[in-house]
Amino acid sequence: MAKKSRTGGGTPATVALDRAGVPYTLHSYVHDPSCGLPYGEEAAAALGVEQGRVFKTLVAEVDGALTVAVVPVSGSLDLKALAAAAGGKRAAMADPAAAERSSGYVRGGISPLGQRRALPTVVDASALSRPTVFVSAGRRGLEVELAPAALVELTAAATAPLLRPAALG
């Protein structure tokens, strides 16, 4: 994976990656608000990438403290698993406005990288089985592909299984 050099105008996520010297690749697509898919699933479809490699960034409250969960777009966050992984008792999804204020990004473009305020972060353990993963690069229609170990290191994240068990048929 080649590092793409930036000349001005990067997002806070790409600036953080550049500062850290982390190799990554940017992928862009035209965001279509009328497509009817959740943001992450739209990104996977637009980029032709398996949904298990594209991760969404969710902001939750664990015992009242904002916490970031990074999970594949193909699954749903298990709030009890997030609470346990973050060392808390209860978790609930954060108010979207609070997530935007804290991260500095808009919903659908929240990146786990380069957030305005560093928050405790937990990355779903499935990321570690992938050679690379995709996360938002800080705006709708822009994804960054990087090694999962780099994502974990740059966000000082814990890793744990965070997905709800799949419904049995």
What is the residue range of 34's domain?
A: 12-160
62 is a domain residue: yes
In a domain, 3, yes or no: no
Q: Assign 38 a pLDDT band (cuts: 50, 70, 90).
A: confident
- Mean per-residue pLDDT for 76-92? 97
User: Per the domain annotation, does 1 fall within a domain?
Assistant: no
23-28 CB contacts, 8 Å cutoff, 24+ apart: 23/146, 23/147, 23/150, 24/144, 24/145, 24/146, 24/150, 25/1, 25/144, 25/145, 25/146, 26/137, 26/142, 26/143, 26/144, 26/145, 27/134, 27/142, 27/143, 27/144, 27/145, 28/141, 28/142, 28/143
Tell me, yes or no, whether 127 lies in a domain.
yes
Tally the domains of the chain.
Answer: 1
Here the CATH number for the domain that contains residue 56 is 3.90.960.10
Judge if pTM exceeds 0.85. Answer: yes
pLDDT at residue 4 tops 60: no
Q: How confident is the model at residue 68 (pLDDT cuts 50, 70, 90)?
A: very high
Q: Is residue 22 part of a domain?
A: yes
**Per the domain annotation, does 167 fall within a domain?**
no
- Tell me if 4 is assigned to some domain: no
For residue 107, being part of any structural domain is answered with yes
> pLDDT for 111-160, tens place per residue?
999 999 999 999 999 999 999 999 999 999 999 999 999 999 999 999 99
